[in-house]
Amino acid sequence: MDLDIRPASDYPLPELTQLLNLSFENYLVPIEFNLIQFLTMLRKDSIDLFSSRVLLMDDEPSGLALIARRGWSSRLAAMGIVEIKRGLGAGQWLLEELIREARDRKDHEMLLEVIEQNEYAVRLYRRCGFQSVRRLIGLICERSVDDEAKPLEEVDLREVGKLISQYGISDLPWQLAGETIAHLNPPARAYRKGPAYMVTSNPEADHVVIWSLLVEPSARGKRLSIDMLKNVMANYPRKTWHVPAIFPEELGNIFEVAGFEREEISQWQMRLLL
């Protein structure tokens, strides 16, 4: 079996979208992108198609690795191989090539998130030197809160992104970092109540994703984050509220107090120093 890689930038975007979907076919969680969703991910997560790689097995496109870049950090945003080509050792070969290229770029670190229950992938990343930073969890709430809906102040997503960079956890997962939040566009929303802030996907949709919940340091310890969360939910009743499985486990209690239940799928946030 002959293995090779080519820059993802050599391929049309519709072909990359299709290859991404094929590379995650029958995965632990459903992954299915259309072209618009793929383009949104590229922009929001700073994915560099020139540094991303298409895996060729005997000259046939058989896998995809998406590399996001910011400064001296790279993130393996996705890596998968088409189902009929899995289990042949190409995954480790591809990962080692990606690490080598990151070192050649003089990157300082490579980051990724991997589903904890995907034992094969976890072993692969640890074998290649990645270490766990923290567990990431997801939570869900499918009932309305009983609180009175108080008026919401909407603010610019970029403003909240700056505040997350200033006041948030310094090593937040890439998708929750201030730079990522600042690249969200409406219909995503950002709200403020005094020193408390919350970012969501489109709250008019039936299923709403919570991307951020932040309180400025001087006001912490007063349950303002829980009050903010409940107020936003009260303003948009009869929705399913979802915290994706990229939230640090240590922040989960905030949502559980508000009636969220923890999901079964969790992830490891991992880091490789280069």
| The Cα angle at residue 44 between residues 93 and 204, in degrees rounded to 5 | 130
Average pLDDT for 65-80? 98
The answer to whether 201 touches 211, Cβ cutoff 8 Å, is yes
Residue 209, H or E segment: strand 207-215
pLDDT in the model for residue 143: 76
Span 4-35, pLDDT tens digits: 999 999 999 999 999 999 999 999 888 999 99
The string of pLDDT tens digits covering residues 151-201 is: 999 999 999 999 999 999 989 999 999 999 999 999 999 999 999 999 999
**Confidence category of residue 144, pLDDT binned at 50, 70, 90:** confident
Cβ neighbours of residue 234 under 8 Å, at least 6 residues apart? Answer: 144, 145, 147, 148, 149, 150
pLDDT, average across residues 73-95: 97
pLDDT tens, residue by residue, 241-265: 999 999 999 999 999 999 999 999 9
Angle made by CA atoms 87, 110, 13, in degrees to the nearest 5: 65
Q: Which domains does the chain have, with CATH numbers?
A: 3-107 (3.40.630.30), 139-269 (3.40.630.30)
Query: CA gyration radius for the chain?
Result: 20
Lowest mean pLDDT among 141-150, 169-178, 205-214: 141-150
CA 179 from centre of chain:
12
pTM of the model: 0.95
Angle made by CA atoms 249, 113, 273, in degrees to the nearest 5: 105
Q: Does an H or E element contain 248, and which?
A: strand 240-248
Residue among 234, 223, 222, 214 nearest 152 (CA): 234
* Long-range contacts, 86-91 (Cβ 8 Å, 24+): 88/1, 88/57, 90/1, 90/3, 90/55, 90/57, 90/62, 90/63, 91/63, 91/124
